[in-house]
Amino acid sequence: MEIQTRSQTGEIKFYNSLTSALADAKEDKKVWKVSFNAEDGERIRLIRTIEGWVYENVMSEDRFI
C-alpha cells in the first residue's frame, strides 16, 4: 500500500506503511494530510487538526457543495 503525505509547503512524500508516514508527520508539523487507498478502493484522507488526525470522506457529497 502506498501512503502519501502533503505538507503546507506543497511537498509530497510517499511511504510503504501508515506507521512510517505518521511517524514522519509527527516530526514534521507542516504535514497536514495523510492519504491512501483502502483495500475496498475507498480513498482515505486524514487531516491534521488541533485535536489530532481526523478522517475526511473524500467522496462525501458535502465536499462538492
Percent of the chain at pLDDT exceeding 70: 89
Q: What pLDDT band is residue 57 in, cutting at 50, 70 and 90?
A: confident
Q: What pLDDT band is residue 15 in, cutting at 50, 70 and 90?
A: very high
pLDDT at position 65 is 44
Contact assessment for residue 44 and residue 35, using Cβ atoms and an 8 Å cutoff: yes
d(CA 15, CA 35): 10
